[in-house]
A and B are shown apart, each in its own frame.
Chain A
Amino acid sequence: MPVDAGLASLSDQLFTWAIVVYSVALVSYCAEYAFGRRGRVAVTSAGAPRSAPATESASILPASEVAPAAVSVATGEPPAPDGPSGRAERSGQVAVALTAVGLALQLGSLVTRGLATGRVPWGNMYEFASVVGATAVAAFLAVLVRMPRIRYLGMFVMLPVVALLFLAGTVLYAQAAPLVPALRSYWIVIHVTTIAMGTGIFLVSFVATVLYLIRRKWEVAVEGGRRPSRFPVTLGSRLPGAVVLDRMAYRTVAFGFPVYTFGIIAGAIWAEAAWGRYWGWDPKETWAFITWVVYAAYLHARATAGWRGTAAATVNLGAFATMIFNFFVVNMVVSGLHSYAGLT
């Protein structure tokens, strides 16, 4: 089927706009994070030197403003918009709205590319990276529905997503083109979708794990009576508790792991039809196996005395690193049967 050039260029434009909108969303998340109150709330909840928001605002603001703020603290509701934190609240809402708009644009880009080429829009590295980014954003939005309070963590999700999509749009970019015969199978829908979904979900878990490690360092320092001053650790003051982050990292892997497992098995079934064997230790297969084994180790480590906490988190980071290696190095440097990068 011939490629529709008009739709293909529309797809490229939508992709560019998605990155632009995501970037603005990223800035808005940063604004909320920087000016928000959660940081201070987090400090008090962790037992650090108290500086209750209510008292603080009382000293600055007129009496009429004090009452609602005090009530809101007492009921545990987020404080009513007042001064800087109101702005933070608004920029957080704007950020979520922009994230949703960006996701819509990106989905539009994927759909138009699919229509332009008359096939599923994940046939090369550029398209695959786009699907992974969209999945990560969707996974974050889904988590947000369940846990609205982690909204300000959006910047930590959007940062790697924007970076990934930027790479996709520049280094990995491939013109809209039809697929070679081996890829013309309905298995591309099943195998590549599940692998991309698994990858996107693992990306969210990776972010949660990095934040967990930062927060944990911070908590340890604060419990020891020290005030962390070095850069990544200082971020800890505004993060959710280590327990929450650890649980988030685990739950995302617990969700992503069966998806990824199914993706590998679907790939094996497809390989049996296309290449004559279901498993042949092709470099891509080998690294998928390595990733699978390390995520399995993470799930086990988290349930093993002496491995819980930092050690298990490190395993999670290692597992994600093997997946990144598989995507970039194996696709671009090592040659194998999975040479569909679309790079020349």
Chain B
Amino acid sequence: MSTQTQNEFMLLFRGDEWCKGLSAGELQNVMSQCKAWFDRLVEQGKIKAGQPLVREGAIVSGKNGRLVSDGPFAESKEAIGGYLLLQADSLEEAVVIAKGNPTLVYGTTIEVRPVAQECPLDVLARQAVREEQLVSA
């Protein structure tokens, strides 16, 4: 996967109905606040990538992906509306950055996840092998 993953954090923006019920004025306000928040982070060199997502798509599951449904996705407040990939020194810093997002007051949640240095499956496999060795020792 990505080779320079140290100090990378994903912000996953959850909640896709938070802007319903806001007036045009409120929406304009939030949008310009978001733009300012984002532009500041870009200036600080914190943004590596980021995109909003269309509210549709597909869910693939089952062996060989034989089941394909149109959604619906997770319930609305869990639905992911977009993501940012940040460069930050620590999870704490990434959390502080997330706290500055203007949509939170309207009910979104932001999941902050460190990018893994290596595949979590490999890490788990090694742990399991170590545990097996301890048990059989």
The answer to whether A and B come from one shared complex is no
